[in-house]
Structure 1
């Protein structure tokens, strides 16, 4: 079976219960990729099955996991969960604040029986503070993290990145923190509660935007296809024949070679003022542009030339020559561009997974190459409750007498 147990990987000794939904599921997927045995717990309801049957997104987020069903509104299933929790290393959940505690399966209850248990919560705003009980869609979190404020054009309303991002940042924080906590528990025998705020995780992805208020006393402004630095404003994204490219125009050692290289190439296609091609752009540093208005006008003229030149060539042609001449240009990739990218193909990034339906689907695969403990990303997502027998009745290797015993969650070798 193509989602068979993975006994290799840097996290192979660990077993994790996954009670996450949507983007939070990516946290435990990464841990499964690293070799952990991840047991996804779903409600035995039709809405879960619909997601499994129809959503490629759901199937990707849950590749390599096992699936069991528990109705955690029932006392009997809550007890089964507690029995399972005593036999695993970590629990990862993304329920509303207080939901787990109200059912007697939160961190405080579980750690009394299993002091070494790592318990990771991924929520919109964290488990404490005035927003702890608030819901948070990706749109809300994009706004309250500041991500929308710096995205879009300066003279238009802020915009959200079209594909939901904020919970994925929370999942990334959760996976790293869970791994560190598992290491700590292995050394000390003490687990801990990891409280991940997706809002805070997204703030950490704003790069230098968070440094503007303390250092400059102002907020960084969104500038669309342009880069702004004090009085300098230069274009970064240009239209090509079949899309767009991003170009580093900074002068100095960083961008001087790029400006000169493209001006020389442009001169083969269009008229380029000799004054621009004769300039040693490596000697025009950022600080020079900050304080010399005449030099800034030269950069404006360069952008005018590039707006005429780049539309004459495809993204691929521009990129290939840039690589040969070490010019700082990158194509703005579509999904099809990514699917056919030669670098990703060379690294075997996409995995062909044969699903239970018999259909083969290509999913993103290895996100890192580990020499001694390679990732195992080539396992399909489970069917709803596919592994109930394994955990509640035992495996097929157990005797009929053992299988006839009361259903209790027992982790067994498969």
Structure 2
């Protein structure tokens, strides 16, 4: 549905929709909400049962409440960026706009919890989600290591930072890509050494203490492993590690994900027919329900595709009246 919130008719139709809606989800600057009369205080007064969800970079409270931002700022403010990248170089943002996606997930969870609370109280409430808070929460040990022990996290590039010290917990290149190795306990490391044919360097006393290897000279050991890994493909390494019970994962690229047999077996990708784009494969749901399986039977709507339908169903205008002029333009927010 599209509405022109610059017009009185558009604002009136939005208000009529909110009379029966379960929730309002927005990410507008607070001054825009004030101009539209849609602040959390105002929506609570006008629609007491409405669950109002705000998903912004810094939230609706605190000294940064009126600051604007995007995933880049949330990644930096939540201390995720400082952990990503090579030591001595600039920090990097979380990839593929993860703060926005995870902010949306947490907004949905908050909305459902507020709906559950409404069943008991009869009243809606404001759910205030800050994506910077979400990133800081997901950082987990990043924050608690400092608040509990005053140990700041540091970037270590392809290697897990401060993960306990034991080598290896790292990503290394092979012939056709990269692999993630987590053979920190004794038995998997021993089996991996055997898979390599027990090279002479593994018997050197310098490479017996894996805590020292992980803490003091991991790059040196990486170079030794690379001599063996770079001669083998990721599929060869996957087979070797599976046969020996060695923790290991191929680092897949987008074509690898699209062709992944595990995702195919779970029916992850689904084909959806779109009126303009035709048949396309889309990522599906990441979960499976045993009794009520997830499905989709229609594509994403075109801009304003259902405006007329929703207005008719909501009794806001008669189908015989023609298009709802003055309320169908996209709002400039």
TM-score interval, smaller chain: 0.7 to 0.9
Q: Which runs of 5+ in 1 are unaligned?
A: 1-67, 409-414
Q: Give the aligned partner of residue 298 of structure 2.
A: 379
1:8-407 correspondence to structure 2 within 5 Å: 68-229=1-162, 232=165, 234=167, 236-250=170-184, 255-267=185-197, 271-273=199-201, 275=203, 289=211, 303-357=222-276, 359-394=278-313, 403-404=319-320
Cα offset, 1:364, TM superposition: 0.7
1:98 aligns to what SS in structure 2?
helix
| 1:238 partner SS | strand
- Tell me how far apart the structure 2 counterparts of residues 296 and 191 of structure 1 sit (CA, whole Å): 52
What is residue 11 of structure 1 aligned with on the other side?
A: none
Return the alpha-carbon distance in structure 1 between the equivalents of residues 64 and 293 of structure 2: 40
- 1:311-370 superposed Cα distances (whole Å, 9 cap, x missing partner): 111112212332332211111110111111111111100111111125211111021111
Using the TM superposition, give the Cα deviation of residue 118 of structure 1 relative to its aligned residue in structure 2, in angstroms: 0.7
Does the 8 A contact of 2:166 with 2:213 survive in 1?
no
Name the CA shift for 1:91/1:296 in 2 (closer, same or farther; >3 Å): closer
State whether residues 394 and 403 of structure 1, in contact with CA within 8 Å, keep that contact through their aligned partners in structure 2: no
CA distance in 2, matches of 1:353, 1:192: 36
Structure 2 CA distance, aligned partners of 1:272 and 1:261?
Answer: 15
Aligned equivalents of 1:230 and 1:139: distance in 2? 26
Report deviation, 1:402: 5.5
SS of 1:362 mapped into structure 2: strand
Residues 228/76 of structure 1: CA separation in 2 closer, same or farther (3 Å cut): closer
Give, in whole Å, the separation in 2 of the partners of 1:356 and 1:312.
48
Q: Name the CA distance, whole Å, in 2 between partners of 1:231 and 1:80.
A: 58
Could you say if the C-alpha distance between residues 306 and 112 of structure 1 is closer, same or farther in structure 2, counting changes exceeding 3 Å? same
Paired residues, number? 321
Q: Deviations for 1:85-140, whole angstroms, at most 9, x for unmatched residues?
A: 01111111111123223212333333334322111000010011111111113222
Q: CA deviation at 1:390?
A: 1.3
Partner Cα distance (1:358, 1:157) in 2: 40
Output the CA distance in 2 between the equivalents of 1:367 and 1:230. 27
Tell me, in whole angstroms, the C-alpha distance in 2 between the residues paired with 1:150 and 1:294: 21
CA 1:234–1:154 in 2, change beyond 3 Å: closer, same or farther?
Answer: farther
Distance 1:231 1:385 in 2: 53
For the residue of structure 2 that corresponds to 1:163, the secondary structure is: helix
The change in CA–CA distance for 1:385 and 1:227 in structure 2 (over 3 A counts) is closer
Aligned-partner Cα distance in 2 for 1:96–1:249: 48
> For 1:132 and 1:171, how far apart are their aligned partners in 2?
18
Q: C-alpha displacement at 1:241, in angstroms?
A: 0.5
Alpha-carbon distance in 1 for matches of 2:26, 2:175:
47
Taking structure 2 as the reference length, the TM-score comes to 0.86
Aligned-pair distance for 1:304? 4.3
Equivalent-residue separation in structure 2 for 1:382 and 1:159 (angstroms): 34
Shift of 1:194: 0.3
Q: Distance in 2 between matches of 1:135 and 1:102?
A: 17
- The CA distance in 2 between the partners of 1:88 and 1:373, in whole Å, is 24
Do the aligned partners of 1:234 and 1:303 also contact (CA within 8 Å) in 2?
A: no
